[in-house]
Amino acid sequence: MYIYNIEEFTEGVPRSVAGLYSKPFQAKQFYFSRLAINKCLYELNLKQKSKDISDLSIIDHHSLEFYPNILVSISHIQHFGAAVICSKKDYLGIGIDMELENRTINPKTAKLFLNDRDELQCFDNLLKSWTSKEAAFKALSPICYQYSSEQLKTVKDIWIQDGIFGLYHLDSPIGKIHTCVQEVKSSKVLICLALITI
């Protein structure tokens, strides 16, 4: 089981967080992605409902320092922060990425993230492909060594076909991609989750 949550930047950031960053939007991205983690932990009855984020240090892009049995991934765009969490007993890797659904991606940039092993539909929906690959990269990068001695360098090193993903130089699938569009306030947000089960 996994849980994800999106938080909208609707309020100020505590001074203790704002002072850590030179740019206000960086502080907001940090704070609201941690609030999203908080809400996920609360929904799993692992934490009281609160805005305290002091116990949410992320280690190696996947682990929470004070919640050793939980995997985590975060994402943030403009006015939103998101998180997904799951149990380490069910998943090896997890990743989340999101984009505003109306974002356009220049077709000339496709060569930077698509490869010849990607399904043809990836070339038709560049935003979904980009977001899916970002989520897959987040799920794979901390544990890539379990599948290959080659280092995962870019999202182009990942292939996507029929909702599954793997490493470019390996035929076997490694995980699954789930996508949805969620309305958050007045915005439609494309959310991609990448899951690697045990």
Domain coordinates of the chain in residue numbers?
Answer: 1-89
**Long-range contacts formed by 144-152: CB under 8 A, 24+ apart:** 146/92, 147/174
Each residue's pLDDT expressed in tens, for the chain with a length of 198 residues: 788 888 888 888 999 899 989 998 899 999 999 999 999 999 999 988 888 888 899 998 899 999 999 999 999 998 899 999 999 999 999 999 999 999 999 999 999 999 999 998 888 999 999 999 999 999 999 999 999 988 899 999 999 999 999 999 999 999 999 999 999 888 999 999 999 998
CATH superfamily ID and name for 1-89: 4'-phosphopantetheinyl transferase domain (3.90.470.20)
Q: How far apart are CA 140 and CA 150, in angstroms?
A: 12
Residue 86, judged by CB atoms within 10 A of its CB (0-12, 13-18, 19+), counts as buried
Q: How far apart are CA 50 and CA 78, in angstroms?
A: 23
